[in-house]
Amino acid sequence: QQAPKKHVVVIEKGLCGSGASGANGGCMLTWSTKFPTLKRLFGEAQAAWLVKESEQAVLEIDAFCKQHHIDAQLSLKGVYYTATNHVQAGSMQPVVD
């Protein structure tokens, strides 16, 4: 829009979107790990609702991909959270509880 006469070409070795321009780190996460912060900001009921809605969004994206035969290589098998130092140890306990 700033330079409408310019032409831009994106070249990728493989499929369009498979390189750096399409990378997202491979993660589609819910807001479950944000529950303590959401609870502090919005209260427990609203925080729980937001987490459940984020979980539902992931399921709906999976269903959409299946319905439209989109091979997004989704895996809904869970996630591991680890601590790399003593400060982080136990920080996920409120989410588990």
Looking at residue 82, what is its pLDDT?
80
Q: Is the pLDDT of residue 6 over 80?
A: yes
- pLDDT for 7-65, tens place per residue? 877 666 677 666 655 666 678 889 988 998 999 999 999 999 999 999 999 999 999 99
Looking at residue 59, what is its pLDDT?
96
Looking at residue 71, what is its pLDDT?
87
Q: Which amino acid, 32?
A: S
Which of 2, 14, 52 minimizes the C-alpha distance to 32? 52
Looking at residue 21, what is its pLDDT?
55
Geometric angle at alpha carbon 95, from 28 and 45, rounded to 5°: 95
CA distances from 50 to 22, 34, 66, 76 (A): 27, 10, 25, 19
Cα–Cα distance, 19 to 16 (Å, whole number): 7
